[in-house]
Chain A
Amino acid sequence: MTDPKLRFLVVDDFSTMRRIVRNLLKELSYTDVDEAEDGVMALQKLKAEKFDFVVSDWNMPNMTGIELLKSIRSDDGLKHLPVLMVTAEAKKENIIEAAQCGASGYVVKPFTAATLSEKLTKIFQNIERAGVRP
Chain B
Amino acid sequence: MIQSYEEQLAANVYFDRSFKLETAKLLPGEYYVTDRNMMLVTVLGSCVAACVRDPRHGIGGMNHFMLPDSAGDGASPVSNSARYGTYAMEILINQLIKLGARREALEAKVFGGGNVLRGLTIANVGQRNADFVLEFLAAEQIPVRGRDLVGEWPRKVHYFPADGRVLMKKLQPPMHNDTIYVREVEYRSRLVTAKVAGVVELYA
Residue positions of A touching B, CB distance < 8 A: 13-17, 19-20, 23, 59, 61, 88, 90, 95, 98-99, 103-112, 114-115, 118-119, 122, 126
Contact = CB atoms under 8 A, between A and B. Distances in A.
Q: Which of B80, B139, B200 has the most CB of A within 10 A?
A: B200
A61 B102 CA distance: 9
Given A90-B1, A108-B1, A108-B198, 8 more contacts: A13-B103, A14-B140, A59-B94, A88-B87, A98-B202, A108-B4, A109-B90, A111-B199
Interface in B12-61: none
Nearest to A61: B103
A88 B94 contact: yes
B70 to A, nearest CB: 11
Interface residues of B, number: 30
Contacts of A88: 87, 90-91, 94
Contacts of A105: 202
Given A19-B78, A59-B97, A61-B103, A108 B200 contact: yes
A132 B139 CA distance: 39
Nearest to A110: B87
Contacts of B1: 90, 95, 108
B73 to A, nearest CB: 12
Contacts of A107: 198-200
A16 B86 contact: yes
B114 interface: no
Contacts of B196: 110-112
13 contacts: A19-B78, A20-B78, A23-B78, A59-B98, A99-B202, A106-B200, A107-B200, A108-B1, A109-B198, A110-B84, A110-B197, A111-B4, A119-B199
B164 interface: no
A112 B83 CA distance: 9
Given A88-B91, A95-B1, A110-B83, A115 B136 contact: no
Nearest to A104: B202
Contacts of A108: 1, 4, 198-200
Given A59-B94, A126-B203, A109 B78 contact: no
Nearest to A125: B203
Interface string B62-76: 000000000000000
